Structure 1
Amino acid sequence: MIKEKIKVSVRDLVEFILRSGDLNSEFVGNGNRRALEGARIHRKIQKSKNENYTKEVSLKYEAEYDDFILAVEGRADGIIIENGNVTIDEIKTTNAQLNDIDDNYNPLHLAQAKCYAYIYSIQNDLVAINIQLTYYQIDNDEIKYLRYTYSIDELKAFFEDLLKKFYNWAMISYSWINERNSSIEKIDFPYKNYRKGQRKLAVTVYRTIEREKKLFVQAPTGIGKTISTIFPSIKAMREGMTSKIFYLTAKTIAGTVADETFKMLRDKGLRIKTLDITAKEKICLNERTECTPESCPYAKGHYDRINDAIMDMILNEDDFSRAKIEEYAKKHTVCPFEFSLDLSLWSDVVICDYNYVFDPNVGIKRFFQDKSDFTLLVDEAHNLVDRSREMFSAELFKKEFLSLKKSMQGKSSKIEKVLSKINSIFLQMKKQCGENNFFVAKEKQVALDGYLRQFIGEAELYLVNNKKSSKCDELIDLYFKSLSYLKISDMYDSSYMTYVEKDGDDVKIKLFCLDPSKLLSQTLQKVRGTIFFSATLLPITYYKSLLGGSHEDYAICLDSPFDTKNRMILIADDVSTKYKDRENTREKVAEYIDAVVWKKPGNYIVYFPSYEYMNMIYEIYKDRGTNMIIKQESSMSEDDKESFLKMFEDEKKGIIAFCVLGGIFSEGIDLKNDRLIGVIIVGVGLPQICLERDIIKDYFEEKYGLGYEFAYLYPGFNKVMQSAGRVIRTETDRGVILLIDERFLHKNYIKLFPKEWFPYIKVNKNNIEAYLDGFWRNL
């Protein structure tokens, strides 16, 4: 019988067993710049070594127990072999003064190196080995070495003590995996029958994971995408193909649907541990999100209590929901956000926003350093294009540096000086903008990067020594913005453009990621399988090219499971909704709205490409008839949104809602049955012409000859499809979709229509009522 392998990294093992004390995010030069510089400095040091130095050496040790094998894995920064002596080199960057670094500086650094030393010694039959801790001071480029020599017996005692302390945790993990897998083996698909296309989707998802591919799925509403991706993924987990599933979402509502799916499966007998990750600001239990032992009782002594909290949670709960995390965090007085991140190690499924996997600034890096067997389920994947562009881009504003310079007068001449240099560079860039008020370049501003690095160094020194300064908040804010900018700058390549733009009396510089595919693929290559799915993933070739797909990956387009007789798609192509024509055609648009909403009482949504256009039609329409007219506002709280949607609960009320394409009411809302019987879409949803869209257009015109399509046509039509998808949500729903714009019947648009949009009916103001009569009468 093959024994189950429980895997743990050297770093996680050491930190989990040996950590103690307070959680403290107070600014103490706490590693942010080191994280930025770390990889570069590692490469620099490694490159400077001679042929006796081997860098990035993978090491693995397996401890066999009666029931399972514990696999401890890691990667030593370097191994030096000289004159028959072996030295493990562990490189650490620091902004601490090297005189302050001694044997007691950070015991975890030495502990990690001792693990590597023991594993290497066992593999190579050594009786003694050296350890070198290399500390690189990033302010002055000085290096300090701490050297140790250990016998194999000393290392064995240390390492076996670590494993002994971790054994109970590994045993819990082993027992849980058996219990989980046994329940997965017994559970069947939770519905009596598969819907049309559902079985095909589930089988394809399983095969994608099995074959270590990526899958792009266009699956219309009603197929049941959530269960059809989750169910085969957990079956693959039972077969040992994947050890962890990440269910990634763009909006909270999608995570809620995943939670409900797992609850249903648990009701059928599934045992699986799921975790919902909530943003720190939302889940913080303190009055103010300030993670210092002086300000937060949950931070003081956090590491002394955290393992007890984890043990309590994993032994007593399967659903690590926000409410449960808060409950156990209060019980054990630990930070709920850090608690949730630790629970991710013990979870089978992690439900979280895209950014926890892909964002270089906030991603959970512990899972994506090396190749893994994880599975990513990317819900509403059409959103990831713009979201990833945002994650991989960065911008800075001149005003913030000038304001900080004024605030720092008389406090730090060094910071003042470097801020003056940065301000001068912004002034030079402002001149380059000329009469166009902007300029675009393929290269980044190297001089700016250099001064930003100086600013960050001086800011760190000042903040460490002036923690109580009233101006620290402003300095800290710009410090972190500069760090993020430099992190993106280090990624800069041919998929980026730099643009500088006058913004009123301010100047903005942006490192703009046009094609996120390469950066996304760096993460995708480290997991076993990825499933991108959406009801609007057309054209699939567009999404494959921007989301890191290749010609070897799979793609499927599924048919709608709903009867086409339950919906009628009308296209009024005798109206121009182009900006220049809107004033002249507004009465005609209002007449078409009248024709639809007066033919059958009920709830309708009318979607517009902008608030300006929406308000134009609203003003001439609001006094017509007795229907209740409501409209989306440009800024709405969660309570406002809920109140808005509650208006649709009365199916007979007769609500007409004016909303914006691509807004909060155009996707992710589920108005089933007769809560919504019609959608009217005014315009083709093209993004507003702007500098960024034109930069995208020029880039993809040069790359593929499809600039307009990538920048405007495809993103715009996705909004149209999402809005149209609000109508038919179940097999019993009935409804009308009216598309108003002359461009909808151009061939460039018709070829984008999903299968379920055929047949459609071309209408005008003379025959639309007859078609509507026939549709509603025949139901």
Structure 2
Amino acid sequence: MSEGEYRVAVRALCDFTAREGDLDHRFTPAPSAREGIAGHALVAGRRGEGYEAELPLSGRFAGLVVGGRADGYDPAANRLEEVKTHRGDLSRMAANQRALHWAQVRVYGALLCAERGLEGVTLALVYLEITTGRETLLTERASAAELTAFFEAQCRRFLAWAGQEGEHRLRRDAALRELAFPHAAFRPGQRELAEGVYKAAATGRCLLTQAPTGIGKTLGTLFPMLAAMPRRGLDRLAFLTMKTPGRRLALDTLAVLGAGVTPAAGEAPSERRPPPLRVLELVARDKACEHPDKACHGEACPLAAGFYDRLPAARQAAVARGWLDRESLREVALAHRVCPYYLGQELARWCDVAVGDVNHWFDHHAMLHGLARANDWRLGLLVDEAHNLVERARGMYSAELDQGRLNRLRRSAPPALAGPLGRLARQWQQLVRDSGPAEEGDGQRPDYCLLDGVPKGMSGALQRAVAAITDYLGEHPEGGSAELQELLFEALAFCQLAEQFGEHSLCDLTRRGRGRAVLGLRNLVPADFLAPRFAAAHCAVLFSATLSPGHYHRDLLGLPADSVWQAVASPFAAEQLEVRVRGDISTRLRDRERSTAPIVAELAGQYHRRPGHYLAFFSSFAYLEMVLARFRERHPDVPVWAQTRGMQEAERDAFLGRFRPAGRGIGFAVLGGAFAEGIDLPGDRLIGAFIATLGLPPADPFNEVLKARLETRFGQGDDYAYRIPGLIKVVQAAGRVIRGPEDRGTVVLMDDRFARREVRTRLPEWWRLG
């Protein structure tokens, strides 16, 4: 592409120019990406010899380069096809959605006629219902002149925006070439981290970097990646987090790096020019929705009515502002009377940096991944607290069906759904009967049963129920209960994963009482799903204070073979942290009653030797409550407070609020919970931690199956299923104590297994165990 040209995909061009009217999201569950690919292949397979599938086409108009892949062309019939998969009744499709599809095929038609010198072509929209495989064909004949006029009209509508975007890219890249580190010097270890990140961006590789808490990992990763954007031709940067606090920290850092623009000559410091870097915070739909009691269509929600008609002005105002955190985006959206959530979805196409949850790149329907693929972006990926990605990804690619939900729903379901829901209920009953022998002696079936695979009869009944519910909700958009929609979500997710079932997952049945079984598809090895996501990024940096050993994350996350491992040395000295091991205490389940007294004595002794704030971590709420009751009985003078099951955000804030400077007391918490990582209590707000567990997952049937499966695949069953995940939690919890170079503190590890060599070698090298 020559200098001065702007490249745009056909889909992006039409999304920009051909959408109008209401936002309409009446419940019409879309096929998965895998189902869409399979549907396109099915249509192509039905066509005759010589049919050209996935036909690359491109053309130019006034400095605009438009390209993409048409779904199929039949030279014999001179017919160009745009294939769209759908589920349920096609008549539910909104008129403006159909208009968008016609715009896409017309643009492809113009490109085809120009490339092959055709005088005209038959255009076809092929709608494939994925459940039945039935095609609906809509056609029109168009001349090359008509299509060229249409194509040029779309391009003219886009050209002003393209020119603006081109200028923004030049201004952005110029600013990033001059980007300076915002502090006088790097913290110890921060420069090494930054150099590793820049090399990953320069070589287009994946980097696993373990860097200790307190060196400024957010700045140490964002700064070099932003500096690499103009030099390595990166189009976008995604900073992905596991929790909201990480998102806030990234935004604060970006405010310093990208949006803190130096005033121009003669400009008052309080005045701000448009920032060279567009930053977008991606917020979950339920958090961004202004009218949660209304459906997402123009007849119900005022912010959906005329959404696409008001979108151009809102989009222009948003990119002019540039800084689009949750509050700023909401302000722009409401000023233009459009939905904040869907405005954010639109702006994901035009921002430079997106800050959001990891699901936006890694899950089944990840928006950023879809945009990157559709627009051929060179995207840099930063993943914060990456030690959590294994478990998060397992959750993304797992699904459950709840028999109890189905039974409740059948009592109130509309008559039109009685048949398909009844057949599904009978499949449930048959599955429970056939799922295994009763345990000897008690006359009861086991609570947990591992199945050989996805029950075939259940899959068929689910597919039929999905089709029936989808049709019903299409005809009665206001008549579906929340429970009916939840059942549909469950069934769709389960069906999609069932199509991809393999050695990376298992299928199990858990009985929770009569009529209350749960059928699960549970991912064990997310690598098979995540490997294509890493391959789609130009470069990826996964960082955390606990990413050791590197092979554990490489294997389970499916990282490329040429991925680089980096361990940044800790800037902290052993003298800052007293680490003691109580090898005389066992926290195993069978020993917990007798462990209570020595644990209470240890907590009280350390507290009285050095009064201040401490955190005490336990393996479960039951264990926590047992020790807490004994401690209160023996030491009523020591202030204590405890994490409880299902704490709300205000309660969590109150728990942390007790850790005031110069205060005293012990907070009791669960290892791996909300207070074991991601919290910052510097100085004397926290001077020590007690960890009364090795953090090992329970040796239950599920984890034993996981261990066996990981042993077969990687030869590391016990380590990968138990020891490594447990010790990651331990090190994360201990990492709450030393947060800066002036901090001093104590960590007491209470379990005899901490004295074992295979455990000690996986603890931080700078710790001096006593």
TM-score bracket for the superposition, by shorter chain length: over 0.9
Alpha-carbon distance in 2 for matches of 1:458, 1:483: 12
Deviation at 1:100, TM superposition (A): 9.8
Alpha-carbon distance change, 172 to 76 in structure 1, aligned in 2, over 3 angstroms: same
Picking from 296, 317, 330, the partner of 1:291 is: 296
- 1:562 aligned to 2:552? no
Picking from 611, 621, 627, the partner of 1:601 is: 611
Please tell me whether the aligned partners of residues 34 and 94 of structure 1 are also in contact (alpha carbons under 8 angstroms). Answer: no
Alpha-carbon distance in 1 for matches of 2:425, 2:84: 32
Please tell me whether the aligned partners of residues 432 and 438 of structure 1 are also in contact (alpha carbons under 8 angstroms). Answer: no
CA RMSD of aligned residues (A): 2.4
Picking from 336, 340, 358, the partner of 1:336 is: 340
User: Helix, strand or coil for the counterpart of 1:346?
Assistant: coil
Alpha-carbon distance change, 581 to 102 in structure 1, aligned in 2, over 3 angstroms: closer
How far does the alpha carbon of each residue in 1:404-439 deviate from its partner, in whole angstroms, 9 at most, with x for none?
Answer: 223237454433443344334433345567643332
Alpha-carbon distance change, 367 to 103 in structure 1, aligned in 2, over 3 angstroms: closer
How far does the alpha carbon of each residue in 1:653-680 deviate from its partner, in whole angstroms, 9 at most, with x for none?
Answer: 2121111110101111101111111111
Alpha-carbon distance in 1 for matches of 2:474, 2:91: 17
**Which residue of 1 is the match for residue 38 of structure 2?**
40
Picking from 146, 150, 155, the partner of 2:147 is: 155
Alpha-carbon distance change, 34 to 346 in structure 1, aligned in 2, over 3 angstroms: closer
**Which residue of 2 is the match for residue 18 of structure 1?**
18
Picking from 319, 326, 331, the partner of 2:323 is: 319
Deviation at 1:603, TM superposition (A): 0.9
How far does the alpha carbon of each residue in 1:174-220 deviate from its partner, in whole angstroms, 9 at most, with x for none?
Answer: 11112211211222112222223222221221121221111111111
- 1:496 aligned to 2:528? no
How far does the alpha carbon of each residue in 1:711-730 deviate from its partner, in whole angstroms, 9 at most, with x for none?
Answer: 11111111101000001111
Q: Structure 1: which 5+ residue stretches go unaligned?
A: 762-779
Q: Which moved more, 1:295-304 or 1:375-384?
A: 295-304
Number of residue equivalences? 749
User: Helix, strand or coil for the counterpart of 2:678?
Assistant: coil
Q: Which moved more, 1:163-172 or 1:251-260?
A: 163-172
**Which residue of 1 is the match for residue 649 of structure 2?**
638
**Which residue of 1 is the match for residue 378 of structure 2?**
373
**Which residue of 2 is the match for residue 6 of structure 1?**
6
**Which residue of 2 is the match for residue 672 of structure 1?**
682
How far does the alpha carbon of each residue in 1:225-252 deviate from its partner, in whole angstroms, 9 at most, with x for none?
Answer: 1111111111111214311011111100
What amino acid sits opposite 1:445 in the alignment? P
Alpha-carbon distance change, 429 to 215 in structure 1, aligned in 2, over 3 angstroms: farther
How far does the alpha carbon of each residue in 1:460-486 deviate from its partner, in whole angstroms, 9 at most, with x for none?
Answer: 2222333444x6433222112111111
Alpha-carbon distance in 1 for matches of 2:84, 2:461: 24
Alpha-carbon distance in 2 for matches of 1:137, 1:465: 17
Alpha-carbon distance in 2 for matches of 1:365, 1:201: 26
Alpha-carbon distance in 2 for matches of 1:583, 1:349: 52
How far does the alpha carbon of each residue in 1:5-52 deviate from its partner, in whole angstroms, 9 at most, with x for none?
Answer: 53322112112211111122223xx24258774332211111222331
Picking from 651, 657, 668, the partner of 1:658 is: 668
Q: Which moved more, 1:108-117 or 1:242-251?
A: 108-117
**Which residue of 2 is the match for residue 121 of structure 1?**
113
What amino acid sits opposite 1:493 in the alignment? G
Please tell me whether the aligned partners of residues 222 and 730 of structure 1 are also in contact (alpha carbons under 8 angstroms). Answer: yes
1:77-476 maps to which residues of 2 (within 5 A)?
A: 77-82=71-76, 86-94=78-86, 106-138=98-130, 140-265=132-257, 266-267=259-260, 269=262, 271-286=276-291, 288=293, 290-315=295-320, 317-361=321-365, 363-364=367-368, 366-369=370-373, 372-408=377-413, 410-430=415-435, 435-469=445-479, 472-476=481-485
Please tell me whether the aligned partners of residues 372 and 526 of structure 1 are also in contact (alpha carbons under 8 angstroms). Answer: no
Alpha-carbon distance change, 421 to 71 in structure 1, aligned in 2, over 3 angstroms: farther
Q: Which moved more, 1:608-617 or 1:141-150?
A: 141-150
Alpha-carbon distance in 2 for matches of 1:43, 1:656: 61
Q: Which moved more, 1:561-570 or 1:249-258?
A: 561-570
Alpha-carbon distance in 1 for matches of 2:95, 2:186: 63
Deviation at 1:375, TM superposition (A): 1.0
Please tell me whether the aligned partners of residues 498 and 511 of structure 1 are also in contact (alpha carbons under 8 angstroms). Answer: yes
User: Helix, strand or coil for the counterpart of 1:157?
Assistant: helix
Alpha-carbon distance in 1 for matches of 2:115, 2:337: 43
Alpha-carbon distance change, 104 to 696 in structure 1, aligned in 2, over 3 angstroms: closer
Please tell me whether the aligned partners of residues 392 and 513 of structure 1 are also in contact (alpha carbons under 8 angstroms). Answer: yes
Alpha-carbon distance in 2 for matches of 1:538, 1:5: 46
Q: Structure 2: which 5+ residue stretches go unaligned?
A: 263-274, 440-444
**Which residue of 1 is the match for residue 543 of structure 2?**
533
What amino acid sits opposite 1:51 in the alignment? E
Alpha-carbon distance in 2 for matches of 1:547, 1:137: 34
Please tell me whether the aligned partners of residues 190 and 268 of structure 1 are also in contact (alpha carbons under 8 angstroms). Answer: no
Please tell me whether the aligned partners of residues 222 and 562 of structure 1 are also in contact (alpha carbons under 8 angstroms). Answer: no
How far does the alpha carbon of each residue in 1:741-767 deviate from its partner, in whole angstroms, 9 at most, with x for none?
Answer: 11112111112112222x222xxxxxx
How far does the alpha carbon of each residue in 1:337-374 deviate from its partner, in whole angstroms, 9 at most, with x for none?
Answer: 00111111111010011111111145445324455311
What amino acid sits opposite 1:419 in the alignment? L
Picking from 576, 582, 586, the partner of 1:572 is: 582
How far does the alpha carbon of each residue in 1:557-581 deviate from its partner, in whole angstroms, 9 at most, with x for none?
Answer: 1111123322222222121111111
Please tell me whether the aligned partners of residues 517 and 546 of structure 1 are also in contact (alpha carbons under 8 angstroms). Answer: yes
What amino acid sits opposite 1:90 in the alignment? E
Alpha-carbon distance change, 512 to 557 in structure 1, aligned in 2, over 3 angstroms: same
Please tell me whether the aligned partners of residues 405 and 415 of structure 1 are also in contact (alpha carbons under 8 angstroms). Answer: no
Q: Which moved more, 1:704-713 or 1:322-331?
A: 704-713
Alpha-carbon distance in 2 for matches of 1:632, 1:96: 47
Deviation at 1:62, TM superposition (A): 4.1
Deviation at 1:134, TM superposition (A): 1.8
Deviation at 1:163, TM superposition (A): 0.9
What amino acid sits opposite 2:520 in the alignment? K
Deviation at 1:647, TM superposition (A): 1.1
Alpha-carbon distance change, 109 to 501 in structure 1, aligned in 2, over 3 angstroms: same
Alpha-carbon distance change, 47 to 581 in structure 1, aligned in 2, over 3 angstroms: same
Alpha-carbon distance change, 137 to 704 in structure 1, aligned in 2, over 3 angstroms: closer
Picking from 54, 68, 80, the partner of 1:74 is: 68
What amino acid sits opposite 2:397 in the alignment? F
Please tell me whether the aligned partners of residues 372 and 379 of structure 2 are also in contact (alpha carbons under 8 angstroms). Answer: no
Alpha-carbon distance change, 197 to 285 in structure 1, aligned in 2, over 3 angstroms: same
Please tell me whether the aligned partners of residues 587 and 693 of structure 2 are also in contact (alpha carbons under 8 angstroms). Answer: yes
Alpha-carbon distance in 2 for matches of 1:360, 1:372: 19
Q: Which moved more, 1:90-99 or 1:561-570?
A: 90-99
Alpha-carbon distance change, 408 to 44 in structure 1, aligned in 2, over 3 angstroms: same
Alpha-carbon distance in 2 for matches of 1:96, 1:701: 43
Alpha-carbon distance change, 80 to 251 in structure 1, aligned in 2, over 3 angstroms: same
Please tell me whether the aligned partners of residues 435 and 449 of structure 2 are also in contact (alpha carbons under 8 angstroms). Answer: no
Q: Which moved more, 1:414-423 or 1:201-210?
A: 414-423
